[in-house]
Structure 1
Amino acid sequence: MSTNYKRKNNRQSWTAQQLEQAIKAVKSGSPVKTAARSYAIPRSTLIRHLTSPTVSTWLGPLDSVFNSQQEEELVQHLLDLEKGWLEKLGNFLKRNPKLSFRKPPATCAARARGFNTPAVSAFYDLLEEALKDHKLTPDRVLNVDETSVPPKKSKVAALKGKKQVGGITSAERGETATAVMCMSATGQHLPPFFIFLRIRMHEALKKGASRGSKFACNASGYMTVEIFNEWFDHFLEHVKPSEDSPALLIIDGHSSHTKNLAFTEKARANFVKVLVLPPHTSNKLQPLDVSFIAPFKTYYAQEVERFLQQNPGKVVSQYNVAELMKPAFIKAATTEIAENGFEKTGIWPFDRNIFSDDDSATVTDQPDPEILSEEETSIAS
């Protein structure tokens, strides 16, 4: 929405024409003070421009490098260069049909800086050490991640060129909740752990949930230290790590995980080794992000669409989330999806060369200091 900007001072309320007239008046013998008052030009401004070879209305401490004529010539020169370059480029592409202009995928600068060779190498060093030292088998290598379950819209089949395509508004499609997912390299999926945006828990929220699911709620609807500790009890209940059968849990660097002394101590006491992903690398190094989250959200969106079609006039509330998520979770929580996620990240089977140099960022050759910090990359043991 456009706004009408209002000036906060009266600087340069005069025009270039007024300035030129004042300069001419002084050069014709009029006192500077008189000319400044007559043409409403600040005296200091008039004095400064009397010694300048050009008349400028530029605000600020820097003068323009080019005058108006030079700027016009430069613009025209650049346009001529562009025209010639485009003609040459067009001919080049015709001679080389294998090449084309492609839109690069959206990657934020933080992710680009995070996924660099030193940070990724340090992660694989720690992973290799953990796998060898503790003789871990794939069923004891697990990854946990939280994901929101907003009512993502599915695509709608419609006639080509049609401008208006029916859909369900976000209000009808439901409220956002957070689901904590965890899977192993052999395809074991822990029952979901739900976090609802509300103060008090209600039994009706559990209706239709997958067997073994756990629930929590808070004022934000997102993961906190306290809730992550509750989830870790859920993890211990299903994985049952022991001295003879320890487990490796791969987590991201969320503060509820890494700045959580109670979790670290409980993990050590229960034979769980914790490996933290380097910051901003979860899109490539986190198995759940790589293979599970996208199909899960797609299946959930389909369940929401089906519910709304079968229940005209109703909306998806918090009390429907667990029930709608159950079939989506069953479809996404497959052995194949889990194995693909761990394989594509090089975690299992272990492959530190899964990514080429071209996959690493070119914006930096050095990791951010926090990436290789003791807290972020150490294995709790």
Structure 2
Amino acid sequence: MVVVHRVASYTTPKLVFNEEQEEALVEYIIRCCHLYYGLSITELKKLAYEFARKLNIVYPANWDTDHMAGKSWYYGFMLRHKNLSLRSPEQTSLNRIKSFCQENVDQFFDNYSAILETHKFEPHQIWNMDETGFPTVPTKFGKIIAVKGVKRVGQAASAERGTLVSMALAVNAVGGFVPPFFVFPRKNMQSYFMDSASPNADATCNESGWMQQNEFVKYIRHFLKYVNSSRQKPILLLLDNHTSHLSIEAIDLALENGIIMLTFPPHCSHKMQPLDVSVYGPLKGYYSTECKNWQTANAGKALDIRHIPGLVCAALDQALTPANIKSGFIKTGICPLKRNAFTESDFVQASLSGQISDVAPIENALNEEERRRIFPMGAACQTFSKSTKPSTSATTPTTMSRSSSMASVLSEIGPVQPAMPQKRSNRGRKPMKSTVLTSIENIAKLKEKRQKCEDAKKKKEGSTQKRKRSYQIEPAKKRTQPTRAAASKKESSSSSDEDVDFCMICMENLPAKLTKNNSIECNKCQRPFHLKCVNMSLS
């Protein structure tokens, strides 16, 4: 008798979507990620369930129970597409997303190229300066070893909410840097704040703890100690256009010492500023580690603002390497100059914002279902399709129509749906652009603006003082009851032909001077009478 052993077969499991449909899903996921609205695992599984129902294809029965795809499908999908991975996103504000556009970037590089053609700066003469904050309670800690199965694992912190100390730092394109400059949130500067800092670091203080115009003037003086610039040997300083940098005193000081200041476009520093791109990210991680090590070595002691400079300087020794600094200048296209450092895919969200605003005139003529379909994903789809690998097979019109129809289906059922366009408001500060702060035109504008502010302030103070004088209330005079002698004296000073009063009993005139010997007052009406008329005599 022959015994036949069953051999397990390694056949490919049956897929829910075919290759073309899964490719459309991948393109939609990448598109949403580039639009800063990436999908989570749950959102992807729900999208797969709705996509399968829309295409009327067979899917497992348990999908209807949970109204989403199962875990096995998700893991298989991620294994089949190695170009996708689960990442932790960074929060990016809408102002940053919309402001980073081709127009703003081109304007910055136009100003930057014009300066380079005029002054021929070397890499060691190109500097970048920026501020960042360090709290006494870091927001992120690394993982620790704990008992398995415990739901909550705690970590000691100095307070519920930390106090923030800001730091200004400047680096150049060859990897050099200027010692840090700290701003403490205190009214008066204390010497022990900098006991743990590096010897060349400097500091100041104000109530907010952030850089303001007065503190920026102090920082420029600190910066000049280490750069050795002059009118004969100028340098270029790149920085953002925060209002603290628009100080006329600081700009005049920079001009006297040969510093040319160029600002980045507003809300674009996360992409275009070398310090934000390659230095501050590792620095914050090293700072959190230093804080954790300090807390471990000083158990039961609270971390104070006087400890921050020492911890920051220790983190700077690890993060502020020449390789990190130079990679930031290279990636942003500043040194060496590379105008096409940013591709079309980097400006997708800004371009889509413009297209959405163009839909506003026709939105009232459409119903709600048609409005949901107004999402210019087609342009983004073409943009991202350029970056994908070219297909070896020939693309037929039928294939293109099917892929476009699937893309439209995903745009309709997908979780990313645009809000209705809003009217632009004229309130607030006018949008700024990349500007050469040390140019004659910009200085004239700043002086004119400051003069207007001073005039408006004086006018407001004058109107306030005038209003106070007009509404000033005189203090009320104390009302007193006049005595009988004062009343009789007042009455005697009147005309002599008129008597003061007459007696109501005998109807004869009362004497001009009333005394207790010749008159008496009624207790009710307070009128005087003759003493003899009321048949009373003095006791």
- Give the TM-score taking structure 1 as reference length: 0.71
Instruction: Give deviations 1:202-238, integer Å, cap 9, x for gaps.
Output: 1111102112111111111111100011001111111
Are positions 1:328 and 2:386 aligned together?
Answer: no
- Alignment gaps of 5+ in structure 1: 1-79
Are positions 1:214 and 2:202 aligned together?
Answer: yes
Are positions 1:142 and 2:127 aligned together?
Answer: yes
In the alignment, which residue of structure 1 is the partner of 2:349?
362
Deviation at 1:370, TM superposition (A): 5.3
Change (3 A) 1:362 1:307: closer
Change (3 A) 1:87 1:370: farther
Cα distance in 2 for residues equivalent to 1:96 and 1:313: 47
In the alignment, which residue of structure 2 is the partner of 1:352?
339
Cα distance in 2 for residues equivalent to 1:291 and 1:172: 30
Cα distance in 2 for residues equivalent to 1:156 and 1:96: 27
State the SS of the aligned residue for 1:177. Answer: strand
Cα distance in 2 for residues equivalent to 1:354 and 1:111: 18
State the SS of the aligned residue for 1:145. Answer: strand
Are positions 1:181 and 2:169 aligned together?
Answer: yes
Larger radius of gyration: 2
| Pairing partner for 2:96 from 111, 127, 149 | 111
In the alignment, which residue of structure 1 is the partner of 2:181?
193
State the SS of the aligned residue for 1:217. Answer: strand
Deviation at 1:341, TM superposition (A): 0.9
Taking the TM superposition and a 5 Å limit, the aligned residue runs for 1:61-140 are 84-85=53-54, 97-98=80-81, 106-140=91-125
Cα distance in 2 for residues equivalent to 1:276 and 1:255: 11
Letter in 1 for 2:273: Q
Letter in 2 for 1:200: N
Contact 1:112–1:361 (8 Å) recurs in 2: no
Equivalenced residue count is 298
| Pairing partner for 1:342 from 329, 336, 349 | 329
In the alignment, which residue of structure 2 is the partner of 1:313?
300
Deviation at 1:254, TM superposition (A): 0.8
Cα distance in 1 for residues equivalent to 2:161 and 2:285: 14
Deviation at 1:337, TM superposition (A): 1.0
Deviation at 1:245, TM superposition (A): 2.0
In the alignment, which residue of structure 2 is the partner of 1:285?
272
State the SS of the aligned residue for 1:155. Answer: coil
Are positions 1:264 and 2:233 aligned together?
Answer: no
State the SS of the aligned residue for 1:360. Answer: helix
Change (3 A) 1:352 1:87: farther
Change (3 A) 1:335 1:95: closer
Deviation at 1:371, TM superposition (A): 5.5
In the alignment, which residue of structure 2 is the partner of 1:380?
438
Cα distance in 2 for residues equivalent to 1:239 and 1:163: 53
Instruction: Give deviations 1:67-96, integer Å, cap 9, x for gaps.
Output: xxxxxxxxxxxxx976613765989x9699
Deviation at 1:166, TM superposition (A): 2.6
Contact 1:173–1:308 (8 Å) recurs in 2: no
Change (3 A) 1:95 1:319: closer
- Alignment gaps of 5+ in structure 2: 1-48, 60-68, 355-423, 440-539
Contact 1:277–1:285 (8 Å) recurs in 2: yes
Q: What is the root-mean-square deviation in Å for CA atoms of aligned residues?
A: 3.0
Cα distance in 2 for residues equivalent to 1:83 and 1:161: 37
In the alignment, which residue of structure 1 is the partner of 2:289?
302
In the alignment, which residue of structure 2 is the partner of 1:275?
262
Cα distance in 2 for residues equivalent to 1:238 and 1:304: 29
Cα distance in 2 for residues equivalent to 1:169 and 1:248: 41
Cα distance in 1 for residues equivalent to 2:432 and 2:210: 27
Letter in 1 for 2:180: P
Cα distance in 1 for residues equivalent to 2:226 and 2:287: 24
Change (3 A) 1:101 1:172: closer
Deviation at 1:125, TM superposition (A): 0.9
Cα distance in 1 for residues equivalent to 2:213 and 2:302: 32
Deviation at 1:97, TM superposition (A): 3.6
More RCO (CA 8 Å, sep 6+): 1
- Give the TM-score taking structure 2 as reference length: 0.51
Cα distance in 2 for residues equivalent to 1:297 and 1:279: 23
Letter in 1 for 2:112: L
Letter in 2 for 1:356: T
Change (3 A) 1:100 1:181: closer
Letter in 2 for 1:183: V
Deviation at 1:176, TM superposition (A): 1.8
Deviation at 1:291, TM superposition (A): 0.8
Instruction: Give deviations 1:245-299, integer Å, cap 9, x for gaps.
Output: 2111111111001x31112222222211111110110100011100111111111
